[in-house]
A and B are shown apart, each in its own frame.
Chain A
Amino acid sequence: MPSSSLAPLSFKVVIMKRYRSRAVSTVGLLTPGLGLLTLFVAVPILLTAWISLHRGSMAVPYSALQWVGLHNYGTIFAQATFRTALLNVFLYSLGNLAIILPLAILLGLFLYQTRVRGKQLIRTLLFLPYMIPTVAVAIVWGYLYEPQYGPLNQILGWLHLPAQDWLGSVHEALLSLVILNVWQTLGYYVVIVVAGLTEIPQEYYEAAAIDGASWFQRQWHVTLPLLRHTLAFVIVILSINTLQIFDPVYVLTQGSPVNSTNVVAYQMYVTAFNYGQAGTASAMAMVLLAVVLVLSLLQLRLFRSI
Chain B
Amino acid sequence: MVSRRITHRIPRLAALMTLLVLVLAACGGSGSAGPSSSSKVAITYLTHWSGPQVDQLHAAIAAYEKINPNVTITVRTVPFGNLLTTITTQGSSSSGPTIMGIYNLWMPQLVQSNLLATAPADDGQDIQQAYAPSIVSAVQVDGKIYGYPNEVDLYALNYNKALFQQAGIANPPTTWAELISDAQKLTKRDSSGKITQQGFGVITSWNSGVVHPWLSLMDSDGGQLLSADHKPQLNSKAALETTNLYYQLVFKDHTTDPAMGQANASTTGPYLDNFAGGKTAMIIMANWWESDLQAAMGQRFQDVATAPIPVGPSGSGSHSVSYSWSTVVSAHASADQQAAAWKFLHWLNGPQSGKNGSSAMGDILMGMGILPGRTSDLQAHQSQLNSPFIHTYVEELPTSMPFPTVLGGDELTTSLQKSIESMLFGQASPQQAMSQAQANLSQILGQYYSS
| Residue B228 is within 8 A (CB to CB) of chain A in the complex | no
The A150-177 residues at the B interface (CB cut-off 8 A) are: 162-163, 165, 167-170
Say whether A170 contacts B270, CB under 8 Å. no
Judge whether A273 and B270 touch: CB under 8 Å. no
A26-B14, A57-B109, A58-B89 known; A168+B410 contact, CB < 8 A: no
What string of 1s and 0s marks CB contacts (under 8 Å) between B68-93 and chain A? 00000000000001001100110110
Contact of B194 with A by CB under 8 A: yes
Q: How far is the CA of A228 from the CA of B353 in the complex (A)?
A: 72
Q: Which residues of B contact A170 (CB under 8 A)?
A: 425-427
* Nearest chain B residue, comparing its CB with the CB of A168: B259
Q: Mark A132-154, 1 if CB is under 8 A from B, else 0.
A: 00000000001000111100000
Chain B min CB distance to A63 (Å): 12
Report whether A168 and B204 are in contact in the complex, using a CB–CB cutoff of 8 Å.
yes
How far, in whole Å, are A102 and B45 apart by their CA atoms in the complex? 52
A73 within 8 A of B: no
B22 contacts across to A, CB distance below 8 A: 35, 38-39, 43
Binds A, one of B111-119, B372-380, B390-398: B111-119
Q: CA of A148 to CA of B190 in the docked complex: distance in angstroms?
A: 13
Please give me the residue from chain B that is nearest to A272 by CB atom. B88
- Which chain A residue has the least Cβ–Cβ distance from B426? A170
Identity of the chain B residue whose Cβ is nearest the Cβ of A61 in the assembled complex: B92
Q: Is the CB of B6 within 8 A of A257?
A: no
Chain A residue with the shortest CB-CB distance to B190: A163
Q: How many residues of A contact B (CB 8 A)?
A: 55
Chain A, 243-261, CB within 8 A of any chain B CB: 250-259
A83 within 8 Å of B (CB atoms): no
| Contacts between the two chains (Cβ within 8 Å), count | 148
Interface mask (A258-276 → B, CB under 8 Å = 1, otherwise 0): 1100000000011011111
List residues of chain A with CB within 8 A of the CB of B89. 58-59, 273
Q: Are B264 and A169 in contact, CB atoms less than 8 angstroms apart?
A: no
What mask results when residues 255 to 267 of chain B are scored 1 for a CB within 8 Å of chain A, else 0? 0001111101100
A94 to B6, CA, bound (A): 49
Q: Which of B81, B265, B414 has the most CB of A within 10 A?
A: B265
Q: A58-B88, A58-B89, A276-B113 are in contact. Are A27 and B13 (CB under 8 A)?
A: yes
Instruction: Judge if A16 is at the interface, Cβ distance under 8 Å.
Output: yes
A35 touches B21 (CB 8 A): yes
10 A-B pairs besides A148-B273, A258-B418 with CB distance below 8 A are: A19-B2, A26-B10, A26-B14, A31-B18, A59-B113, A60-B114, A169-B259, A170-B426, A254-B265, A259-B418
Q: Kindly state whether residue B1 has any CB partner on chain A within 8 Å.
A: yes
Hey, which chain B residues are within 8 Å of A273, CB to CB?
Answer: 84-85, 88-89
Closest A residue to B196 using CB positions: A148
Interface string of B1-32 (1 = CB under 8 A from A): 11100110110011001100110010000000
